[in-house]
């Protein structure tokens, strides 16, 4: 179980991408966040290539279904989500995302389906009901320092392992506030995956 480490208490250990989902309330962690799975195709009708080609962002950079920006970040709502090769149940499952709360990037939309990508580039089509608008991030660098303020000289309040998942709060151009069950603080944005370099949040 990988969590956050305060300066006075060690509480973190890395888990593999295929590790079991942690108990409720635990800080959920992932490295690749996906496990390989296979399923035989069924007889449901598949959307045509032309239909799927229309799933990408329009000229204004917004999704054709929701009119929300593309790409954009969401998180996995439950403890498991099937990522399929195409936007229908008839398509083979390529990946099973295994960690509740892991951040995902939506890159296309088609009906009730969203094409998502994780930090390591694993991608597939996921039903929208498996996704949440709650923003989370993954720590990119091992023993990342969480500071009391968005300042390199501010006191360090905790350390986080690479792969730790935390809830995303406020962001300036260079810093983001993150929180977990074990700790919260400000982290340099370049050490996070799940937020755009030029994104700000109040």
In the chain, the domains with their CATH numbers are 34-39+47-135 (2.30.30.40)
What pLDDT does residue 18 have? 27
3-state DSSP call for residue 192? strand
Q: What is the pLDDT along the chain (202 residues), one digit of tens a residue?
A: 445 654 433 233 222 232 222 222 333 333 334 433 333 344 345 666 546 655 776 667 899 999 999 999 999 999 999 999 999 999 999 999 999 999 999 999 999 999 999 999 999 999 999 999 999 999 999 999 999 999 999 999 999 999 999 999 999 999 999 999 989 999 999 999 999 999 999 9
Distance CA 19, CA 99 (A): 9
Closest residue by Cα to residue 130 from 170, 174, 164, 81: 81
Task: Please state, in angstroms and as integers, the Cα–Cα distance from residue 168 to each residue in 62, 79, 135, 153, 175, following that order.
Answer: 22, 19, 5, 22, 11
DSSP characters over 30-58: -SS-EEE------SPPPPPHHHHHTTS--
Distance CA 81, CA 76 (A): 7
Question: How far is Cα of residue 176 from the mean position of the Cα atoms in its chain?
Answer: 16
What pLDDT does residue 36 have? 37
What pLDDT does residue 53 have? 59
Cβ atoms of 97 and 118 closer than 8 Å: yes
3-state DSSP call for residue 191? helix
Peptide bond into 43 cis (omega under 30): no
- pTM of the full predicted structure? 0.76
What pLDDT does residue 51 have? 62
Provide the 8-state DSSP code for 201.
B
What pLDDT does residue 49 have? 59
């Amino acid at each position: 179980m990988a969590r956050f480490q305060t300066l006075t208490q060690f509480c973190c250990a890395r888990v593999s991408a295929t590790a079991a989902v942690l108990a409720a309330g635990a800080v959920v962690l992932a490295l690749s966040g996906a496990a390989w799975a296979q399923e035989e195709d069924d007889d449901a009708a598949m959307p045509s290539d032309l239909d799927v080609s229309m799933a990408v962002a329009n000229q204004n950079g917004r999704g054709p279904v929701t009119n929300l920006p593309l790409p954009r970040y969401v998180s996995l709502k439950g403890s498991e989500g099937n990522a399929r090769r195409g936007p229908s149940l008839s398509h083979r499952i390529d990946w099973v995302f295994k960690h509740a709360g892991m951040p995902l990037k939506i890159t296309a939309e088609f009906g009730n389906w969203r094409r998502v990508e994780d930090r390591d580039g694993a991608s597939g089509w996921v039903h929208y009901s498996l996704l949440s608008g709650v923003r989370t991030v993954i720590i990119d660098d091992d023993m990342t320092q969480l500071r009391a303020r968005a300042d390199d000289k501010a006191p360090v309040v905790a350390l986080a392992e690479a792969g730790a998942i935390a809830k995303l709060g406020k962001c300036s151009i260079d810093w983001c506030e993150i929180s977990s069950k074990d700790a919260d603080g400000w982290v340099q944005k370049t050490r996070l995956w799940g937020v755009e370099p030029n994104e700000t949040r109040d």
